[in-house]
A and B are shown apart, each in its own frame.
Chain A
Amino acid sequence: MTKSKNVKIETLYSILFLIPALLLFISFIYYPLIMTVKYSITDWDGFSKSYNIVGIKNFINIFKDSDTYTTILNTIYLAVLVLVIGTIAQLGLALIIDQNIKGSVVLKTIYYIPCVISGLIVGLTWTSFLQYTGIINEFLRIIHANSLIQDWLADPHIVKNVIVFVNTWQWTGYGLIIYLTGLNGVPVEVNEASLLDGASGFKKFRYVTLPLIMPAVTVSGFIGITGSLKMFDLPFILTGGGPMNSSTTITMSIYKNAFSANMFGYSSSIGLTFFLFIAVITIIQLRVTRNLEVEY
């Protein structure tokens, strides 16, 4: 066969192998996105056969709706805390486990297990722990620490922090594996050289380790930001968005407006606006972290 014929066959095979994934992507990502854009300029209720075009009225209403402001603030609060605390926990544990401590394999497994449990099971399990009559408060009563008893799921001042805690507990293992992979990629000779040059502790981490594991930070940061901004299952199961909307996230607001209030068009406009918001944040994050990456 001639070289060009071989290239053509290779190209054909490449296209054919791409088609299934492309079809899935178009069906479940692009097509819903296009339909969301379409419905966002209508007053469709989600089940009628007709609707009216309302233009940008839905988008304007987003900024007039005080409930939506509350959900945006809740979402940003949760996302920032989850990202900061999560990163500290994940990176800290990765640095410890990377020291080849005894039982590191077992520890990695233990930390990773919560990641594979469904959000529903995690939510229901933690509900039984965190109810006012739940295991945590009962334990505090038994050890006579009554002053520490809290209404973990029904106090609007602490409920978001509780969600952050449960979310961090669930996903620490995921980021841990990513950071460990990054740390394993740091050349041994670079570490040795830095030690010879007198760098140790925080200085070594700041000027040697961190720049070299920036690709891992990029990936973990990207996943963390998108995941935390889209948080739905945990607050839905733990609190239902209450009390007083203090734990209602944007995705919950989208769900409620679409399926409870039958305002599918308005809900689509919130979804689209939120999609653009996440896109902007992640582009900024990727640019910042990629600029900090160094090559060895």
Chain B
Amino acid sequence: MMIKKTIALIITGALLISLFAACGSNNNTSDLTTSTIAASSQVEAQSTAQATEAQDNKEVELKYVSWMSKGEDKPMAESFTKANPNIKIQVDAFDGANYDQLLKTRILSGDAPDVFLIQLVQYAPFVKQNYLADVSNEQAIAFQNNTQAIKSFMSIDGKEFGFVVNGGLVLTPVFYNKKYFEKLGVTTLPQSTDDFAALCEKIKADGVRPLVLGGKDKWPLNFLGLNYAIATNSVDYTDINKALYDGDIKPSVLFKGGLDLISTYMTKGYIGKESLTLTWPQSAQYFADGKAAMLPQGTWTPGVDEVKGIKADLGSFPMPFPVGSDGKNHIQGSIDRILVMSATTKNPEEAKKYFNYFAAPENLTQYLESQSLDTVLKGINVKQDPVLADLNAFYKSDACIPNFNFLSRVTAAFNSAAWDAYVNTMAGSPVDTELAKLDKEFDKTKAQMVLN
């Protein structure tokens, strides 16, 4: 009996020790927040000390995180490791719709990735919370600063904390199947909202759904909702974020047009119920299968697997939105992905290496071309997919004006609320109800906005 108890006691003791060992490796929130305060200067101080170590080719594994769920970032990581065999990159992808929450959870638990992508709405708040390393002196930033518009946008208190991977005009192409349009007898592409409605009616009469969107993912509805808001509100406010914050304009005024558009398209059957529960890849497949005639989606669409079968017949045209009061087409100039380094990375030299490698013109160009992305950075010439050739020419013409600042400083929570408003409107919620909710949601988190 005593022997059995002693054995049991030893096992219990071993379990206890392993429990303490596991707990000891976790950083709690207060430790983390204290450490992030001095983290930026810590990175600098460590870099000299670690330079020699790096030269000794120590084996290092960097953690990289983004929301690229189809493995878009892996080729970059693999080519870096090929060039730097002692540095491995562990690439993880988080769900895009909950990226902010998932990333913050990781950072707060003390397991921040060394290098990661963030979205525009995260940039200022993350800088404010000292999550990001100061990369002002990096090669990548020196290159980025050749483009003045980006330099002034990305600078916070005279420092830069991120590299704009892709950005420029958020082209709002509507993809279509040229063969189907030929069969339908469509010879000219729509130039106005009335033309577009007429085209949708023609397609609907043919028994095909005019439009399909990835409503389950929510963000694809930005192509209608947000871009309509930009098209119709850009002229009146030079700083829309400040105007919202100061109460000069309400979100409901900005979004009314876009929600009315979505509501109208649903009522008229241009968009169907299927769009509510399709993810964006499924919507691309739905379009490729010929069940819908048009797919408003990003410029990466020609490169996705789902449309490979009809690539040869793929065409695109700009979504016709109303022009602004100045007679110009105001287009969302967005910064989609920002490459950053963690302020608490344990491998700052290696992280900087990857950061600069990613941003090197030749590597960045390859990355952008592989995903049909674009950038406004000077010195990068991205070969666009031929499907987008006419689109690019239109958007870069004098008839189009990019707006980089539109809602760039709203909180992630409000962004999410806007997406919910689109989906709810599609599901039948009255536009006025959703607009009232938007105003309420904006007031709820307004105090968290970080203005320039």
Contacts and interface: CB of A to CB of B under 8 A. Distances in A.
A154 B278 CA distance: 11
A92 interface: no
Interface residues of A, number: 34
B6 to A, nearest CB: 9
A17 B445 contact: no
A19 B427 contact: no
B9 A16 contact: yes
A165 to B, nearest CB: 16
Interface stretch (B101-109, B176-184, B391-399): B101-109
17 contacts: A17-B8, A20-B19, A23-B19, A46-B104, A47-B129, A48-B129, A49-B30, A130-B277, A131-B278, A132-B273, A132-B274, A133-B274, A133-B286, A154-B273, A242-B423, A244-B424, A262-B413
Where chain A touches its partner, the secondary structure class is: loop
B444 interface: yes
Interface in A17-33: 17, 19-20, 23-24, 27
Interface in A211-262: 240, 242-244, 255, 259-262
Please indicate which of the listed interface residues B100, B277, B278, B427 has the most CB atoms of chain A within 10 Å of its own CB.
B277
A47 B445 CA distance: 15
A156 B273 CA distance: 13
Contacts of B445: 261-263
A153 interface: yes
A260 B12 contact: no
Interface residues of B, number: 47
Where chain B touches its partner, the secondary structure class is: helix
Contact of A153 (B9, B277, B412, B426): B277
Nearest to B434: A244
A151 B215 CA distance: 13
A262 B448 contact: yes
Contacts of B297: none
A64 to B, nearest CB: 12
Interface of B: 5, 8-9, 12, 15-16, 19, 23, 29-30, 33-34, 37, 97-98, 100-101, 104-105, 107-108, 129, 215-216, 218, 272-274, 276-278, 282, 286, 411-413, 416, 420, 423-424, 426-429, 444-445, 448
Nearest to B107: A47
Contacts of A13: 5, 9
Interface of A: 13, 16-17, 19-20, 23-24, 27, 45-49, 127, 130-134, 151, 153-156, 240, 242-244, 255, 259-263
Contact of B12 (A20, A24, A156, A255): A20
Nearest first, the 8 closest Cβ-Cβ pairs linking A and B are A243-B427, A259-B101, A154-B276, A49-B33, A131-B277, A261-B413, A132-B274, A244-B424
Nearest to A27: B23
A262 B33 CA distance: 16
Given A242-B420, A260-B412, A48 B276 contact: no
Contact of B444 (A27, A47, A240, A261): A261
Contacts of B215: 154
Contacts of A240: 97, 216, 218
Contact of A242 (B23, B100, B272, B427): B427
Nearest to B423: A242
Please indicate which of the listed interface residues A47, A151, A261 has the most CB atoms of chain B within 10 Å of its own CB.
A47
Given A47-B129, A260-B413, A261-B444, 13 more contacts: A13-B5, A16-B9, A23-B16, A49-B30, A130-B277, A132-B273, A132-B276, A133-B274, A133-B282, A134-B277, A151-B277, A155-B427, A244-B428
A151 B216 CA distance: 13
A46 B108 contact: yes
Contacts of B278: 131-133
